[in-house]
Amino acid sequence: MTPTLTLAFELHADVQPPIDFGEISPGRRRRMVPITSGRFDGPRLRGRIVPGGADWQIVYADGFTELDSRYALETDDGQLITVRNAGVRRAAPDVMSRLLAGQPVDPAEVYFRTVPAFETSAPSLQWLTQSIFLGTGERYPSEVVVRFWLVE
């Protein structure tokens, strides 16, 4: 059977400019992007992003980026969810150069995919912990948008 994707929710994260830790090995730079706030909304849940998360990135010389985001969500009814969102981002070198410099780029020019894992103690949200999801992302100068798709 071929899996289908169903939109679970869309997240809009407010982010600060990256902190660049420099070259950690030849051709690899470490960056950290603070996640300060934001909202998420979907048919089965909605709420806010808890301040204090971050995306820990490794950026290669050609701009290819490994993503490792960790942050927390709070639903409108007070349930807490932790998110670990691993992924990749790539585009043509000129597009990646502009994106990494904080300039606007057309999201259609960037391959930005993630594989999130969720944790929660909320009985009504266990479907998040017992399912597979795929994320599709868009990076803007001060915001990241991720759509989380339930693999059915």
Interatomic CA distance for residues 42 and 23, integer angstroms? 39
Structural domain of 47: 5-151
Kindly report which listed range (38-42, 57-61, 100-104, 120-124) carries the lowest average pLDDT score: 100-104
Interatomic CA distance for residues 130 and 33, integer angstroms? 28
Six-digit token string for 123 = 């009985």
Model confidence at 42, in pLDDT bands (50, 70, 90)? very high
Would you give the end-to-end CA distance of the chain in angstroms?
A: 10
Return the half-sphere exposure (C-beta side, CA atoms, 13 A cut-off) of residue 105.
25
User: Mean pLDDT score of the chain, rounded to an integer?
Assistant: 96
**Which pLDDT belongs to residue 100?**
84
Mean pLDDT, range 45-70, rounded to an integer: 96
Number of separate domains in the chain: 1
Q: What is the CATH number of the domain that holds 144?
A: 2.40.160.20
H/E element holding 97?
Answer: helix 93-100
- pTM of structure: 0.94
**Which pLDDT belongs to residue 138?**
96
Interatomic CA distance for residues 70 and 80, integer angstroms? 14
Mean pLDDT, range 86-101, rounded to an integer: 92
